[in-house]
Amino acid sequence: MKYLKQYWLEILMITPLFVYILGFTVMPVFTNLKNSFIDQRYGRRYDILTSKISDIKYDIKNSQNQEEITEYEKELAIAQNELDNLKKSDYSGFTFENYKKLFQTRDFRKGVFNTIAITLTGLLIQFIIAMSIALLLTNEFKGKGFFRTIVLTPLGIPTIVSATIMTYIFDISGYLNVLFYKLGLISEITPNWGQGGWLSIFMVVFADTWKVLPLMVLLFIAGLESIPKSVHEACSIDGSKSWYKFFTIILPLMKPHITIALILRAIDAFRIFELPLILAGTATTPVISTFTYMEYDRQNYNLSAASGTILTIIILIFVFSYLYVVEREKGEEKA
């Protein structure tokens, strides 16, 4: 009580935010978990019947005609009976059926593969390019500020917009194929980037890279700037070659920055949704999140919940490994 009296203002200020997070983020995640253990056949039938019952009840409440009401009550009894039967059926209760079914579904397995492929190739490509640009930007040259501004441009471009533009570029007669044709790399027969497989994975990775590169560059520049000047000077006195210097000195010193940037990127890459949905479509190139959405769209809520839960678990593993890395770095700094 004393505690409440002393901190009433703080408690009042902090409560709304966390109540909202609890109600609209944590609760849904657990609802999802719960729904993922309910059989799809039971779940859908249950939804239909309960909404039917509430509809009939609403009708009864608003009906004046006595005959109509008896009619409605008959319907209500039938629906109620069906619901009771459903509850006693074999489908009801806790089941792993959805998860079993997921791993038997070809699209889901493909989705898992695509998600991992997009994450790994994306991370590798983005790391190499962003690191090169960051290193380029540590040099002094004319027009450096201008170049920096250009590199940072896609930072603000909404994902939906970058996805839209990439459809023009990766269309079968799109501008990437035009470029390849002009360079003489392809003839009249054009690669179809949306056909699935590695071509589509490359397409999504390219679109994603275009969008997230500025952020990676910023993070790496921050990392490079954190290396003390004396280290660079010592290297140049030793006369070591620049690539040698990079691999033996700069890279190890930047390891904490790189790990953090890569884990954060991996979290985002696993959640990737708009780009594969819009660019590749779910028919040829599903990823876990678009598969989850498609099952929702087909009203297979329980299957969608199972797939969403798997994605959540993967993300949480990444998050905790991230926190572990950050904590360890802090510990090292102190020591």
Select the residue interacting with other proteins from 63, 164, 236, 248 (CB under 8 A).
Answer: 164
Task: Report if residue 335 touches other proteins, rule: CB under 8 A.
Answer: no
Please report whether residue 160 would count as binding other proteins according to CB under 8 A.
Answer: yes
- Where b means 16+ CB within 10 Å and e means fewer, 185-213 reads eeeeebbebbebeebbbbbbbbbbbbbbb
Q: CA–CA separation, 182 vs 207, rounded Å?
A: 22
Residue 117 vs 278, nearer CB to other proteins: 278
Q: How far is the CB of 67 from other proteins (least distance, A)?
A: 29
Number of residues that bind other proteins (CB under 8 A): 90
The correct pick among 261, 262, 269, 280 for binding other proteins (CB under 8 A) is 261
Sites for other proteins among residues 126-155 (CB under 8 A): 133, 136, 139, 141, 143, 147, 150-155
Q: DSSP secondary structure string, 52-100?
A: HHHHHHHHHHH---HHHHHHHHHHHHHHHHHHHHHHHSTT-SB--HHHH
Which amino acid, 82? E
CB of 178 to other proteins, least distance (A): 5
| Sites for other proteins among residues 201-220 (CB under 8 A) | 210, 213, 215, 218-219
Residues 94 and 2: their CA atoms lie apart, in Å, by 45
What residues numbered 269-328 form the site for other proteins, per CB under 8 A?
A: 270-271, 273-274, 278, 289, 292-293, 296, 301, 304-305, 308-309, 311-312, 315-316, 319, 322-323, 326
Q: Is the dihedral of CA 241, 243, 247, 251 positive or negative?
A: positive
Give backbone dihedrals phi and psi of 94, rounded to 5 degrees, phi first: -70, 135
Question: Within 13-32, which residues bind other proteins (CB under 8 A)?
Answer: 13-18, 20-21, 24-29, 31-32
Q: Is 192 in the site for other proteins (CB under 8 A)?
A: no
249 token code pair: 């000195």
Whole-number minimum distance, CB 130 to other proteins, in Å? 11
Residue 21: how many other CB atoms lie within 10 Å: 11
